Structure 1
Amino acid sequence: MSSHQRYKYMPLDKNKREIRLLKLHPAEGDDSQIRCSIITTSLDHRPEYAGLSYCWGDASNPLTIKLNDAALSVTSNLHSALRQLSQHGLVSLLWVDAICINQHDIHERNHQITLMRDIYEGAQLTIVWLGEAADDSGLAIQLINAWANWYKGFDGFLQKFPFAFDEKMWAAANKFIQRPWWMRVWVYQEFLLSKEVMFACGSELLFNDFLKLAWEAWNEFPESEDAKEVSGEDLFRLVFPGARQIGRFQLQHLMREHHRTCTERGEPPHDDVPLMGLLELLSITRHMEATDPKDKLYALLGVDEIQDIPVQPNYTHSVNKVYTDFAVNWIRIRSSLDILVDAGIGIPKRDLQLPSWVPDHRKLGMFSKGEDFISRDHRASGDWKPNPRIDDSDLLLSVSGFICDVVTSMHEPSKRLDQRTEQWANLALGYTSTHPTGLPRLQVFFRTMIADVSGYGFGRPEFKNEQDWKEFVDLARGFMAFSGSRSTIYIEKNSSGLHFNEKCLRWWLAHDLDNSSHARFLQMFLKLVPDEPVAKTDRELLQPFLRPTSQHTEIPWPHNDKKPTFGEDMQSAVRYVLRAESSTMRKTFFVTDKGYMGFGPGKLCEGDLVCIIFGCPHPLLLRETGDTYHLVGEVYIYGMMRGEMMVDFEAGKFVEETFVLQ
């Protein structure tokens, strides 16, 4: 086909908020060419159309569609999606970014991105194209639709869906959630802004309402009475990696639905259903992919209300400039240091030439630095306000605070939680001195593993409410079960998620019945502690572990003298593994000169300074570089997260300093 027959775009009128829509013509046969037309309209006219959310896929082998009797090249994945939609006649008018935006006109791309919010919110339906049927995707959809019915009663549920714990179907579900669509940052915005979402995989359809119900079931089932009816291995199957990925989409979508409904009714949204801030969205989408690194920011501009931060898409700017300008504007306009949560030279694979205090928003996230603490209830600097100052070059950031400790020993990240537990415990519990909080070091180690926020802080480790106490005790039970039995239970990730060698554990339990399982678990774990006697009763073992500093707030015997069942132990172990994995993954563990323990970014070093920076919710590690400092990264240190160091600062034990970060 000669070049003059290629489709030629006509300019859009920016002042009229014009967009293009794609009209799909009915397919004339399975192998017929895809025929479409372009219609230009204004968003102000509120046209009826569906949005298409998909992965562009490999662009090296494009296919051709017929557009207004001319030719247009599209990726093979988009070609498959259009063919399925034209054959089934699901929709007639579509908004498809690769076709409806002239991708060769950079100015049009910049402008159309600013309309993305209105485009997807205005669509009657968004169709998510996951690709052709493969890897038993039909079984995955069947399993998801089944679990959407769990709330109708467990006995009837198992009778109707006997395959609910089928290993092959769970393997298919894992592959289903690992499809490329779930990892593209642009689709996150498209999903969240949409009123209704329908997934298409080959010829099969899955409505998001069913996926949402299934995800809720997978989250709530381990806590339910029904969980006692299944094996520990089946229980772990529910915690398959895909559930976490689905949750990243569904949680924010639920919040937006609530806010949208309240707006339509003229009612204020509930205070306990807040939309995520931009930093939280950047954190949970950090692992997602974008062809252009600038899109890691641009792809979220329609999701969050950030009108006070001037971010205008400009693809002519370098990645360094886009990221630095965003950080500078955030700090100057909001007078906030929260953005430092994602910054630091201690994060592996950070190779952009950015100031150490400017976050690198590329594909880093949990896969290189572990989970952020931004959504946790931390306030290391108490109520003190930040006073940041950025120089005219936008390269140097001055902040105020004080040095409270220094890293003296460390252990680098380990891939497996059982390895981290043993290696870190050897380092943390090898100290004979009392922990600075006055708590037993074993208890502090446990609290560190879960990045604990249950206490008040300021030297008060007792609990804020009964729910916090119950969660703490449950996680402690899981910690004992997991830690003490790690040489007998083999926990690994396979196609169906986390896996217990349950047969081996049951044999071990059956041959040692003199004490409760917790005593045995903890006795095995305490062998790691130098000179720690192991011949203790349950009460002698558990009470020192759980006892706070003040005796009058002693935590009661956690199980009401009723021996927990094996299933209850395993449920607690599941919850502990999830919490500890998310808190400690990719982290380096360290002990400080004063005897504190904590964890932080992978590339921290001995000699790094533990600092409290005014207005920053987390302690930070700084590294001296002459007259200036490099930010290494945020850290978790039990006993410093809730303003405890500020009490000592206000008592004159520390000296305020100005740190110039470069």
Structure 2
Amino acid sequence: MDLKKDDDFVYDRLPTADSFRFAYLKPGVGQDPIECELVTRTVKEEVDLATPQWEALSWLWGAHGNLRAIIVNGRKFSVTRNLFIALNHLRLPERPRLLWVDALCINQKDIEERSSQIRQMAFLFHRAKNVIAWLGGGDTGSQVVMRLARYLHDFESGNLSYCDANMIYILALTFGVPAVEADPSNSVFNYWKIHKYENWNYIDRIVDRELFRRSWVLQEAALAKSLVVTCGTETIPWDAFFRAVSLRFSNDRRARDYPTVHQGWSAMQAIENLRQLVATKQRPPDLLELLWACRDYKSTDPRDRIFALLGVSDLLYGHGPRQQLGFEIDYSKPIHDVFASFALSTIAKYGDLRVLATRRSNRAFDNNYLGSWCPDWASLDDGVSLLYRQRQWSGNIIKYRACGDLSPIAWLAAGKTPSMGVLEMGHLVLRGFILDRIAALRHSSYFVIESDRLFDWHNWAVWPDQRGQAKITQPKDQADPQRQDAFWRTVIADADVNGNRQPVYLRAQFYRWYQKVIESSSTGNDSTAETLAGIEDKDFLNRMRHVTRGRCLFETSEHGLLGIGDKDYSAELGGAQLRPGDLIAIVHGGPLPVMLRAVDGPLQKGAERTYRLVGDAFCYVHGMVDGEALRLGTKMENFTIV
């Protein structure tokens, strides 16, 4: 293209608030320049059309510095390499194609327009003729996967034109459909039996494409009436693609037996779950739970972790984020302001403090000036909150009621960052009372260490008068039954893998498992927790590892309570971990007790003590998660959380 810098494209302002742009992708093949023509439309004009003609593109921006040039309205326009490749594959040889692409149709440099257009994305993706999930350029493996998924769809739809004996064997071995008996004398069967794992590897590679873990794809794919998956030159319906991937994982015994789910497959399940909720108009989990479950999806702008999911609220809840939460999509606000406003909005909307449970890696080192109380959605974290029964959202949180029926009493007070001397973030004031102080701790070490250490951990918790003698097997008649009951309930936070409270059926699993730990410790066997657990004890072990990962047991000083809480991960940056002397408090609206640490420094005359939340804020304290602490009659006070 012989275009000079003066020929760069410049956007015209959109004429009305309900206006948006479409891009006509002009025909072309091979090395022809990529050309687009932008046209302006309004919501009313498109609603009046019986059949929408545009297609919306769901894609991954990629590196912003890796740019390519295309022509828009006769002028040069820079796009990322990913979009350049997508447009080159998507254009048709003989006729134009009408697309909505955020990078083309929104003036990304105009903050006001960007905020306004993002609010219309739900309409654009829900009403589009097709939503194209662009996975990127194709290769040999992706071609195999896309074609196998299409053959599987045709076979299950009754179209047998592709399904000769060879294809029947391929589908049977790769997906388990249809059932085909092994025939050692059949060379074709044996050939595809060998290559089954190669097909699974191809599927795993395409499922691992980054698009599925991008924040915006959740809204874009969930709202699509017609969703297609495109990789290189291959395009198939989402339903066919999802069906093939689901059968791959269900047909693999290793994938069924191990609790760790492939991240890409887990992300695809989240997309499909949201699509089903939109299609059937079932009541979904609230926005806070949905956001928590999708917190480790990727986005270039951290604010998009929130904004990307708010667009589904119109269809899921019947009204937008302004009506749902009193919260608005606004890119003119700085990141910390967006995070704080969202947190306060959810507290007011849902009447609880669940938003505080978001795990943070640097509460003590607050480089973003968020305060220890404000969730930092910008940081990726693989931690799992005690409030949720699994990483994937499931419709319900675990029902703890540490504060009984007390609604949250919280407000924002002015606060200053000492090092900056300017107002950066308000302090959150909570109402509640001190339950107890931490007296001693024991770290879990993830339950993947040698068995004698496992026994030591349990020995410390169950028999405090004989600590330091971890390798001495304790006779059963010396065990305190109440203390032992408190222990096994604490390491699973008194809930099973399905989120059901007080799961007494796991007691037998615990005793079987721990007896193996004792025997292994006595014989000096190097077995780990996983190898010691049989299939009959798997529910207890899975839940225990879920709860104990990255946490530590603690005992309190006054009431001798046993609990489990998240350590402060700022330790890697020089800060102290959860430590003796930290406070356990019950606050209004808190489903579980919170962990507080008094901020060091002398108090000025008339000033109140300030505190910092520790770890993921909430902890499990046995016997104090169903309102029992309210019967202690402790005087209420205000906690100023910095």
**What SS class does the counterpart of residue 53 from structure 2 fall into?**
coil
Please, which of 611, 625, 628 is the counterpart of residue 647 of structure 1? 628
Give unpaired runs (5+ residues) of structure 2. 47-51, 157-170, 183-188, 314-319, 389-396, 416-424, 465-478, 526-530, 570-576, 601-608
Q: Residue type matched to 2:384 in 1?
A: G
Equivalent residue for 1:539?
none
Provide the rounded CA distance (Å) in 1 between the counterparts of 2:449 and 2:485.
Answer: 22
Cα displacement (A) at 1:4 = 3.4
Cα displacement (A) at 1:624 = 1.2
Provide the rounded CA distance (Å) in 2 between the counterparts of 1:232 and 1:629.
Answer: 47
Partners of 2:451 and 2:520 within 8 A in 1:
no
Provide the rounded CA distance (Å) in 2 between the counterparts of 1:282 and 1:119.
Answer: 22
Of structures 1 and 2, the one scoring higher in RCO (CA 8 A, sep 6+) is 1
Equivalent residue for 1:362?
378
1:321 aligns with 2:337: yes
Equivalent residue for 2:603?
none
Pairs within 5 Å for 1:42-191: 42-46=42-46, 47-87=52-92, 92-134=97-139, 136-141=141-146, 156-157=178-179, 166-191=196-221
Q: 1:452 to 1:35 in 2, by over 3 A?
A: closer
Cα displacement (A) at 1:648 = 4.2
**What SS class does the counterpart of residue 127 from structure 1 fall into?**
strand
Q: Residue type matched to 1:288 in 2?
A: Y
Partners of 2:134 and 2:231 within 8 A in 1:
yes
CA RMSD in angstroms, aligned pairs only: 4.0
Cα displacement (A) at 1:605 = 1.1
Equivalent residue for 1:492?
none
Q: 1:348 to 1:580 in 2, by over 3 A?
A: farther
Q: Residue type matched to 2:232 in 1?
A: G
Provide the rounded CA distance (Å) in 1 between the counterparts of 2:310 and 2:70.
Answer: 31
Provide the rounded CA distance (Å) in 2 between the counterparts of 1:41 and 1:408.
Answer: 66
Partners of 2:296 and 2:381 within 8 A in 1:
yes
Q: 1:438 to 1:576 in 2, by over 3 A?
A: closer
Equivalent residue for 1:34?
34
**What SS class does the counterpart of residue 299 from structure 1 fall into?**
helix
Please, which of 274, 290, 300 is the counterpart of residue 252 of structure 1? 274
Q: 1:231 to 1:76 in 2, by over 3 A?
A: closer
Equivalent residue for 1:611?
585
Q: 1:292 to 1:342 in 2, by over 3 A?
A: same
Cα displacement (A) at 1:400 = 2.1
Partners of 1:396 and 1:660 within 8 A in 2:
yes
Q: Residue type matched to 1:591 in 2?
A: F
Q: Residue type matched to 2:137 in 1?
A: E
CA offset digits 1:152-207 (Å, max 9, x no partner)? 99573456996699333333333322222123212222122222211111112242
Provide the rounded CA distance (Å) in 1 between the counterparts of 2:534 and 2:277.
Answer: 33
CA offset digits 1:617-639 (Å, max 9, x no partner)? 12211111251111113344263
Partners of 1:336 and 1:386 within 8 A in 2:
yes
**What SS class does the counterpart of residue 26 from structure 1 fall into?**
coil
> Which segment drifts farther, 339-348 or 378-387?
339-348
Please, which of 300, 303, 308 is the counterpart of residue 294 of structure 1? 303
Q: Residue type matched to 2:583 in 1?
A: L
Equivalent residue for 2:437?
406
Equivalent residue for 1:509?
none
Q: 1:30 to 1:360 in 2, by over 3 A?
A: same
Pairs within 5 Å for 1:511-660: 523-527=515-519, 570=535, 573=538, 579=543, 582-585=546-549, 587-593=550-556, 594-603=560-569, 604-607=577-580, 608-625=582-599, 627-632=609-614, 633-637=616-620, 639-640=622-623, 642-643=625-626, 646-652=627-633, 654-660=634-640
Pairs within 5 Å for 1:421-460: 426-430=456-460, 431-432=462-463, 439-440=484-485, 443-444=488-489, 447-448=492-493
Percent identity for Structure 1 against Structure 2: 23
Q: Residue type matched to 1:639 in 2?
A: H
1:205 aligns with 2:221: no
Cα displacement (A) at 1:282 = 2.0
Q: Residue type matched to 2:285 in 1?
A: M
CA offset digits 1:442-497 (Å, max 9, x no partner)? 6336534976676655xxx64xxxxxx5xx58xx76x79xxxxxxxxxxxxxxxxx
Equivalent residue for 1:373?
387
**What SS class does the counterpart of residue 132 from structure 2 fall into?**
strand
Q: Residue type matched to 2:429 in 1?
A: S
CA offset digits 1:632-654 (Å, max 9, x no partner)? 133442635741xx2243253x4
Q: Residue type matched to 2:518 in 1?
A: L
CA offset digits 1:553-588 (Å, max 9, x no partner)? xxxxxxxxxxxxx9x955974x66765555444x22
Provide the rounded CA distance (Å) in 2 between the counterparts of 1:203 and 1:302.
Answer: 30
**What SS class does the counterpart of residue 71 from structure 2 fall into?**
strand
Pairs within 5 Å for 1:474-485: none
Equivalent residue for 1:384?
406
Q: 1:454 to 1:80 in 2, by over 3 A?
A: closer
Equivalent residue for 1:493?
none
Please, which of 419, 422, 429 is the counterpart of residue 449 of structure 2? 419
Provide the rounded CA distance (Å) in 2 between the counterparts of 1:420 and 1:384.
Answer: 44
Q: Residue type matched to 1:617 in 2?
A: P
Aligned length: 545
Provide the rounded CA distance (Å) in 2 between the counterparts of 1:164 and 1:637.
Answer: 49
Cα displacement (A) at 1:323 = 1.9
